[in-house]
Chains A and B, each alone.
Chain A
Amino acid sequence: MGRLELLQTLTGHKGIVWNVSWHPQGKVFASCGEDKIIKLWSKEGQDWTMKTVLVDGHQRTIREVAWSPCGNFLASASFDATTAIWDKKSGQFECNATLEGHENEVKSVAWSPSGQLLATCGRDKSVWVWEVAGDDEYECEAVLNAHNQDVKKVAWHPSLDILASASYDNTVKMYKEDSLDNDWSCVATLQSHESTVWSLAFDKTGERLATCSDDRTVKIWKEYKPGNPEGVIVDDKESVWKCVCTLSGYHTRCVYDIAWCPKSGLLATACGDDIIRIFKEADDSDPNAPTFELVSTQLNAHSQDVNCVTWNPMGNEELLSCSDDGEIKIWKYSE
């Protein structure tokens, strides 16, 4: 059994904290929420302290923040239908571009591994792919209308320009660009959850995906490429994603977020029952029917719903979480 040790509790946001995001070097993170403010935190000695407050970028709730892979840009998705891009070129953080186009609430934003593409999604059921076209210039590459409900989350494959989205329509979809005509299209629909899919996370290989849902389960999906040795039928030359594992009976309410640590392979979940859970793949796990064990249950991790969990990208097993209770917590996992 592992355990989560609480390193620090950070307060300062007013109301719900929706999201926290590590800077790629793991020494800074950003937080956002209902108070329409982004806060940047960094470590001084042993303690994390708030360093910068970004205000006036958005008129409504900021739902998610995401750092570019180079760490120089921060994107923020807001209920005000816009996505803002912040950078420090002038010496301090400023909003130098605003991406407009969604009809209403933007729910999620994510940078591709190259940093050249950006994806956003929202309540208007669409997923947008943007290309970084130059200094503070972003061009819309594609508007993808594959979902028929509110789109909750977008996430990129860790090394390829493959995009995944999760929706209120209970499905997950994958998209990529056709190299012949440069058109983006939906190449896979992952169907198995029985209610809203709130979040998703690729493993470090990008060949597996973990999803979490309002149906109180977590699912693990595996990619079967054309000509796979398992003999899974693949038409259309596109990979097929199959649900190879369902973790049910662990969560007592909606699972709002999931994080898959690229270093340790540990899965962390954020749940509406105020609990953070950590799962570990069994040593003798069969790749086509993997088994995951619950190795840690942090009861009352927060005093209200946990909205987000995220592993430090440096792989030091630090975990960040945030909650409806207005607090951000930093944890350290140990075996």
Chain B
Amino acid sequence: MTKVADNVNPNVYEKESEREITSADHNEEITDDFDEREIFDLIRNINDPEHPLTLEELRVVEEKNISVDNKKNEVLVHFTPTIPHCSMATLIGLSIRVQLLRALPSRFKVTVEVSEGTHVSEHAVNKQLADKERVAAALENNNLVQIINQCVAAGA
């Protein structure tokens, strides 16, 4: 992309440490429900569309902004654009949604929303991300899917 980034000089934050593997994780007897940390690990390494940085490093996604309800099969992710007029907000939200749709069992209802008060078009972005028909149509657009795949490809 030759376009100048919306936020040329974003703040960059430290990464979290890797998840600690405990003995319970190796114990087949223990039911291992999805938790917030697990969801965070699935999306923290998604690349920002404009910077060679992850969504975690830009604090677009944080573990505290994720909630999981295993009984109701609900996952709710709030993400925080780096600036309130970020034109990439929908694309970032879509990347998070696509990553979770691909990684989680299909029983989960995934909701991805902008953190309250962090974007000028918060309501419009949320409505578009929640419209599964428009998301389905967007995912039939090869150019867009390529861009999303580049974002989602874990930059490990």
Q: Please pick, from B107, B134, B136, the residue contacting A34 in the complex, using a CB distance under 8 A.
A: B136
Q: How far is the CB of A217 from chain B (nearest CB, A)?
A: 16
Contact yes or no, B131 A196, CB < 8 A: yes
Contact yes or no, B109 A303, CB < 8 A: no
Q: Please pick, from B131, B137, B140, the residue contacting A168 in the complex, using a CB distance under 8 A.
A: B131
> For the complex, what is the distance from the CA of A170 to the CA of B136, rounded to whole Å?
20
Given contacts A107-B133, A196-B127, contact A60 B107 (CB under 8 A): no
Is B42 positioned at the interface, with any CB of A under 8 Å from its CB?
Answer: no
Contact yes or no, B140 A152, CB < 8 A: no
Residues of A within 8 A of B107 (CB): 303-304
Q: Please pick, from A150, A152, A253, the residue contacting B109 in the complex, using a CB distance under 8 A.
A: A253
Q: Mark A94-119, 1 if CB is under 8 A from B, else 0.
A: 00000000001101000000000000
> For the complex, what is the distance from the CA of A305 to the CA of B132, rounded to whole Å?
10
Contact yes or no, B132 A152, CB < 8 A: no
Is A57 positioned at the interface, with any CB of B under 8 Å from its CB?
Answer: no
B119-140, CB < 8 A from A: 127, 130-134, 136-137, 140
Is B17 positioned at the interface, with any CB of A under 8 Å from its CB?
Answer: no
Interface SS of chain B: helix, strand, loop or mixed?
A: helix
Is B143 positioned at the interface, with any CB of A under 8 Å from its CB?
Answer: no
Q: Please pick, from B109, B131, B132, B140, the residue contacting A79 in the complex, using a CB distance under 8 A.
A: B140
Given contacts A168-B131, A196-B131, contact A61 B109 (CB under 8 A): no
Is A195 positioned at the interface, with any CB of B under 8 Å from its CB?
Answer: yes
Residues of B within 8 A of A253 (CB): 109
Q: Please pick, from A60, A272, A303, A324, the residue contacting B140 in the complex, using a CB distance under 8 A.
A: A60
Is B22 positioned at the interface, with any CB of A under 8 Å from its CB?
Answer: no
Residues of A within 8 A of B106 (CB): 303-304, 324-325
Q: Please pick, from B132, B134, B136, B140, the residue contacting A150 in the complex, using a CB distance under 8 A.
A: B134
> For the complex, what is the distance from the CA of A50 to the CA of B43, rounded to whole Å?
41
> For the complex, what is the distance from the CA of A61 to the CA of B134, rounded to whole Å?
12
> For the complex, what is the distance from the CA of A156 to the CA of B128, rounded to whole Å?
27
Is A147 positioned at the interface, with any CB of B under 8 Å from its CB?
Answer: no
Q: How large is the interface on B (under 10, 10 to 19, 20 to 34, 35 or more residues)?
A: 10 to 19
- Chain B minimum-CB-distance residue to A34: B136
B74-127, CB < 8 A from A: 106-107, 109, 127
Contact yes or no, A195 B127, CB < 8 A: yes
Is A214 positioned at the interface, with any CB of B under 8 Å from its CB?
Answer: yes
Contact yes or no, A16 B127, CB < 8 A: no
Q: Mark A249-285, 1 if CB is under 8 A from B, else 0.
A: 0000110000000000000000011000000000000
Q: How far is the CB of B135 from chain A (nearest CB, A)?
A: 11
Q: Mark A294-335, 1 if CB is under 8 A from B, else 0.
A: 000000000111000000000000000000110000000000
Q: How far is the CB of A167 from chain B (nearest CB, A)?
A: 12
- Chain B minimum-CB-distance residue to A305: B132
Residues of A within 8 A of B133 (CB): 63, 107, 152
> For the complex, what is the distance from the CA of A123 to the CA of B106, rounded to whole Å?
27
- Chain B minimum-CB-distance residue to A152: B133
> For the complex, what is the distance from the CA of A195 to the CA of B128, rounded to whole Å?
11
Contact yes or no, A214 B130, CB < 8 A: yes
Q: Mark A52-82, 1 if CB is under 8 A from B, else 0.
A: 0000000011010000000000000001000
Q: How far is the CB of B142 from chain A (nearest CB, A)?
A: 11
- Chain A minimum-CB-distance residue to B123: A195
Residues of A within 8 A of B137 (CB): 60-61, 79, 104-105, 123
> For the complex, what is the distance from the CA of A150 to the CA of B127, rounded to whole Å?
12
Contact yes or no, A61 B140, CB < 8 A: yes
Q: List 12 A-B contacts (CB under 8 A).
A: A34-B136, A61-B137, A79-B140, A104-B137, A123-B137, A195-B127, A196-B131, A214-B127, A303-B106, A304-B107, A305-B132, A324-B106
Q: Which residues of B contact A (CB under 8 A)?
A: 106-107, 109, 127, 130-134, 136-137, 140
6 additional contacts, CB 8 Å, given A61-B136, A107-B133, A123-B134? A79-B137, A104-B137, A196-B127, A254-B130, A304-B106, A305-B132
